[in-house]
Amino acid sequence: MTETAPRRTCLAVVLAAGEGTRMRSDTPKVLHRVAGRSMLAHALAAVRAAGADRVAVVVGPGREDVAAAAREAVPDAAVFVQSERLGTAHALLAARAALAEPADDVVVAYADTPLIEAETFARLRAPLAEGAGVVVLGFEAADPAGYGRVLREGEAVVAIREDRDAAEAERAVTLCNAGLMALSGKQALSLLEAIGNANAKGEYYLTDAVEIARARDLPVACVVAPEDEVQGVNDRVQLATVERTLQERLRERAMRAGVTMIDPDSVFLSHDTVLGRDVTIEPNVVFGPGVAVEAGATIHAFSHLEGARVAAGASVGPFARLRPGADIGASAKVGNFVEVKKARVGAGAKLPHLAYVGDAEIGPRANLGAGTITCNYDGFDKHLTRVGEGAFVGSNSSLVAPVTIGAGAYVGSGSVVTQDVPENALALARGRQETKPGWATRFRDGKRSRQTSGGT
């Protein structure tokens, strides 16, 4: 019989007080986006998914924007301000009120290290349940320069030495500190309070918790993660590197789940893109946040989708743009140079080419010809266009909203429809054609005779 271990409570503290001056940006570093979501939101999502019951976020002074983003991602997050930048342990102590409340585990994350997976946070917590006082997250660095080194005697971790404080022999160590750490909740405050600032930078280093724990005979463990998962961001070059790593991870996940990508390197996904089984994505497709594509649908080349749903078997693109609120029904077709915004397109409906469909409900099996435009905006308000089931809108028609085309109705090509069209009716709203037989011949003859008689 297996015994279930009692559930351990967990406090996650996310450090988001970074200045980020090397980003050269008016936006705080941790609010820069990776795969369509801020780095801060990535870090918060991971600690939440790893089972944190409480989340504390430490922000820099005056950073109401970072605090608001934290609360948006985790509504009950407790936000603390580190008023002076005196080191990672000092930053953590800004969240003293959160640390003072009981938790079995305390996990520390950095908001500028957005690729850590929930599973890694869970692995980081695990040794605490076996009695560890401190758990560090290590990685084998291709180039360890600049990182704190994880110093071991045998299997035991004895210290983390910051690069600038390290002796020559210690610098040769390649196992580095990723920065993230787990602390026993019972010990956390007292360990942090014992940390001093006698080092090359004069900062309160969180990493000193390791030596202090050792001195108190508390076991220290080290969990190792792949280097590309612990990448941090200090400038825009590193931001792009992290984006690339995350894109590779997302694409691989999608392909392993049954998605075909002809040229994965040219497909850009969002953190929340949902792609069903047997979906095909052609080259050069961009997914903004909030897109779901259901089984068997095809997204053709050079399409851009954001906040949209594409139902099973539908076909989108090439060169299509689905904006927020586009809801494309099963087996519907949205063809080239078609833009859809806040519109439901019914099952089997066709918008094959060159259309704008915004604020609309298009019924099942309706057909909108090339150049159909919903005139949804009067400069002040947006209005709704309804096209009924099986209706046929001829090419180059403007549907001036609010307007309804009844089920099964026809709209003649080139119409400007300003009044509702009843079911199964034909609406013609264009200039009547006038045809003058022989006119062109008479016209040309007149011109030519004037030329030969020397007229100008």
Instruction: Mark 76-105 with x for binding to ligand UD1 (rule: CB under 6 A) and - for no binding.
Output: ------x--xxxx-xx--------------
Q: Choose the stretch contacting ligand UD1; rule: CB under 6 A; options: 10-18, 217-225, 332-340, 393-401.
A: 10-18
Q: In terms of CB distance, is 11 or 316 closer to ligand UD1?
A: 11
Which run of H or E residues covers position 118? helix 118-129
Q: Which DSSP string corresponds to 253-289?
A: HHHHTT-EESSGGGEE--TT-EE-TT-EE-SSEEE-S
Whose CB is nearest to ligand UD1?
148
Binders of ligand UD1: how many residues, by CB under 6 A?
A: 25
Kindly tell me which residue out of 13, 14, 17, 222 binds ligand UD1, with binding defined by CB under 6 A: 17
What is the spatial distance between Cα 260 and Cα 279, in angstroms, rounded to a whole number?
6
What is the spatial distance between Cα 424 and Cα 302, in angstroms, rounded to a whole number?
37
Query: Do you know the residue count of the chain?
Result: 456
Active-site residue numbers? 353
Q: How far is the CB of 286 from ligand UD1 (least distance, A)?
A: 29
- Asked if 231 touches ligand UD1 (CB under 6 A), the answer is no
Nearest to 124 by CA among 73, 214, 77, 184: 184
Kindly tell me which residue out of 11, 15, 195, 407 binds ligand UD1, with binding defined by CB under 6 A: 15
Q: In terms of CB distance, is 207 or 284 closer to ligand UD1?
A: 207
DSSP 173: -
Site for ligand UD1 in 134-193 (CB under 6 A): 147-148, 160, 162, 176-179
- Asked if 205 touches ligand UD1 (CB under 6 A), the answer is yes
Going by their DSSP bridges, the two strands 134-140 and 175-184 should be labelled as antiparallel
Q: In terms of CB distance, is 180 or 314 closer to ligand UD1?
A: 180
Tokens found for residue 255? 């392909």
Kindly tell me which residue out of 206, 218, 338, 399 binds ligand UD1, with binding defined by CB under 6 A: 206
- Asked if 28 touches ligand UD1 (CB under 6 A), the answer is no
Number of other CB atoms surrounding residue 84 within 10 Å:
11
Task: Note whether 69 and 38 are within 8 A (CB).
Answer: yes
- Asked if 232 touches ligand UD1 (CB under 6 A), the answer is yes
Amino acid 309 reads R
Q: To which residue do tokens 């290590």 refer?
A: 138
- Asked if 368 touches ligand UD1 (CB under 6 A), the answer is no
Q: Choose the stretch contacting ligand UD1; rule: CB under 6 A; options: 11-19, 291-299, 332-340, 396-404.
A: 11-19
Helices 64-73 and 39-49 meet at what angle, rounded to 10? 40
Measured in degrees and rounded to the nearest 5, phi and psi for residue 171 equal -65, -25
Binding site for ligand UD1 (CB under 6 A): 15, 17-18, 58, 82, 85-88, 90-91, 110, 112, 147-148, 160, 162, 176-179, 205-207, 232
